[in-house]
Amino acid sequence: MSAHKKRRSAGSIVAAAFGNFFRFIAALIMVMIITGCIVASVLTVYILRYINADEQITLDDVTMKYTSIIYAGDEIDPETGLPKELQQLQTAENRIPIKDYSEIPKHMVDALVAIEDKRFWEHHGVDWKRTIGATVNLFLPSRASFGGSTITQQLIKNITGDDDYRIERKVQEIFRALKLEQHYSKEQIVTAYLNVVFFSNHAYGAKAAANTYFAKDLSDLSLAECASIIAITNYPTYYNPLLYPEHNKDRQEDILWEMLDQGRIILKEYEDAINEELVFHTEVAQAQVSPVYSYFVDHVIEEVIDDLMNEYGYTYETAQQMVNGGGLRIYTTIDTQMQDWVTQYYSDAANFPAVGNATYPQSACVITDPNGKVLAMAGGIGEKKGMREFNRATGMTRQCGSSIKPIAAYLQAIENDIVTWSTKLDDTPVKSSAKAAGGEEENDEESLKNLVGWPVNHYRTYLGPITIDEAIQRSTNTIPVKLVELVTPRKVFDFLHDKLGMDSLVDRYVSNGVVFSDVDLFPMALGGLTNGVSPLEMAGAYQIFANGGYFTKPYSYTQVLDATGDLILEKDTTPRRVISEETSTIINKLMQRVTGGPYGIGTTARFQQVQGIPVAGKTGTTDDDRDQWFMGVTPYYVTAVWLGFDTPERITYYSYPPPIIYRQLMEPLHQNLEPKDFPISDLVEEKTYCVESGGIAGGECTTVATGWYKKSYDGGPCNAMHGSSSINLDDDDRSTVKRPNRRKTRSGLNIIDNDD
Q: What is the pLDDT of residues 305-324, one digit of tens each?
A: 999 999 999 988 888 888 98
Mean pLDDT computed over 460-464: 94
Task: Tell me the average pLDDT of the chain.
Answer: 84
Per-residue model confidence (pLDDT) at position 714? 82
Top mean pLDDT of 25-29, 202-206, 714-718 is at 202-206
Q: State how far the Cα of 116 lies from the Cα of 236, in Å rounded to an integer.
A: 14
pLDDT reading at 667 higher than 90: yes
| Residue 662 pLDDT | 98
71 or 137: which carries more pLDDT confidence? 71
pTM of the model: 0.72
Per mean pLDDT, which of 24-28, 82-86, 226-230, 738-742 is the most reliable?
Answer: 226-230
- Fill in the amino acid letter for 208: A
pLDDT of residue 750: 30
Structural contact between residues 382 and 302, judged by C-beta atoms closer than 8 angstroms? no
pLDDT bin (cut points 50, 70, 90) of residue 754 is very low
Q: Which amino acid is at 13?
A: I
**Rounded to 10 degrees, what is the CA torsion of 701, 703, 709, 712?**
0
Q: What is the mean pLDDT of residues 296-308?
A: 96
pLDDT higher than threshold 80 for residue 163: no
C-alpha pair distances (Å), 510 with each of 303, 442, 514, 583: 29, 20, 5, 36
Q: Pick the range with the lowest mean pLDDT from 284-298, 492-506, 589-603.
A: 284-298
pLDDT of residue 137: 57
Half-sphere CA count of 371, side-chain side, radius 13 A: 6
According to DSSP, the β-strands at 576-577 and 550-551 are antiparallel
**Tens of pLDDT along 345-398?**
999 999 999 999 999 999 999 999 999 999 999 999 999 988 888 999 999 999
Alpha carbon separation from 718 to 422, 424, 715, 722 (Å, rounded): 12, 13, 9, 8
Q: What is the pLDDT of residue 169?
A: 53
pLDDT of residue 136: 57
**Could you tell me if 202 and 92 are in contact, meaning their C-beta atoms sit under 8 angstroms apart?**
yes
Q: Which residues 6+ apart lie within 8 Å of 567 measured at CB? A: 559, 560, 561
pLDDT of 62 over the 60 cut: no
Q: Which of 486, 513, 490, 370 lies closest to 439, judged by CA?
A: 490
The whole-angstrom separation of Cα 629 and Cα 621 is 6
Rounded CA separation 212/229 (Å): 10
**Is 543 or 132 the better-scoring residue by pLDDT?**
543
- Contact criterion met (CB below 8 Å) for 149 and 106: no
232 neighbors 240 (Cβ within 8 angstroms): yes
- Residue 140 is predicted with a pLDDT of 53
740 pLDDT tier (thresholds 50, 70, 90):
very low
Yes or no: say if 220 and 107 are a contact pair by the CB < 8 Å rule: no
More confident residue, 140 or 490: 490
Q: What average pLDDT does the segment 155-168 reach? A: 64
Q: Are the C-beta atoms of 207 and 218 separated by less than 8 Å?
A: yes
Query: Is there a cis peptide before residue 105, judged by omega within 30 degrees of 0?
Result: no
**Hey, is 642 helix, strand or coil?**
strand
Question: Lowest-confidence range among 45-54, 289-298, 409-418?
Answer: 45-54
For 639-666, the pLDDT digits (tens) are 999 999 999 999 999 999 999 999 999 9
Q: Which residue has the higher pLDDT, 101 or 147?
A: 101
The residue-averaged pLDDT of 434-456 equals 49
Q: Are 679 and 548 in contact (CB under 8 A)?
A: yes
Q: Which residues pair with 570 in a beta bridge?
A: 559
Q: Quick one: average pLDDT of 224-248? A: 92
> What pLDDT does residue 433 have?
44
Give the Cα separation of 303 and 366 in Å (integer): 15
The SS3 assignment for 537 reads helix
pLDDT of 617: 98
pLDDT of the residue at 380: 97
User: How wide is the angle at C-alpha 687 spanned by C-alphas 686 and 689, nearest 5°?
Assistant: 140
Least confident of 352-361, 676-685, 708-717: 708-717
Q: Is residue 365 a contact partner of residue 535, using CB atoms and an 8 Å limit?
A: yes
**What is the reported pLDDT for 122?**
85
The least confident of 52-56, 180-184, 695-699 is: 52-56
Region 293-315: what's the mean pLDDT? 95
Which of 166-175, 206-215, 486-495 has the weakest average pLDDT?
A: 166-175
The residues near 14 (Cβ < 8 Å, ≥ 6 apart) are: none
Q: Rounded distance, CA 82 to CA 74, Å?
A: 10
Indicate whether 27 pLDDT > 70: no
For residues 150 and 153, what is the distance between their CA atoms, to the nearest angstrom?
A: 5
Residue 449 has pLDDT above 50, yes or no: no
Give 558's contacts (C-beta < 8 A, 6+ positions apart).
73, 331, 332, 333, 570, 571, 573
Q: Please check whether residue 362 is in contact with residue 380, taking contact to mean a CB–CB distance below 8 angstroms.
A: yes
pLDDT at 325: 81
First to last CA, the chain: 170
- How confident is the model at residue 9, as a pLDDT? 59
For the ranges 94-98, 282-286, 342-346, 370-374, which has the lowest average pLDDT? 282-286
pLDDT-based confidence at residue 58 (cuts at 50, 70, 90): low
- Confidence category of residue 178, pLDDT binned at 50, 70, 90: confident
Contacts of 136 (CB under 8 A, 6+ apart): 146
Is residue 733's pLDDT more than 50? no
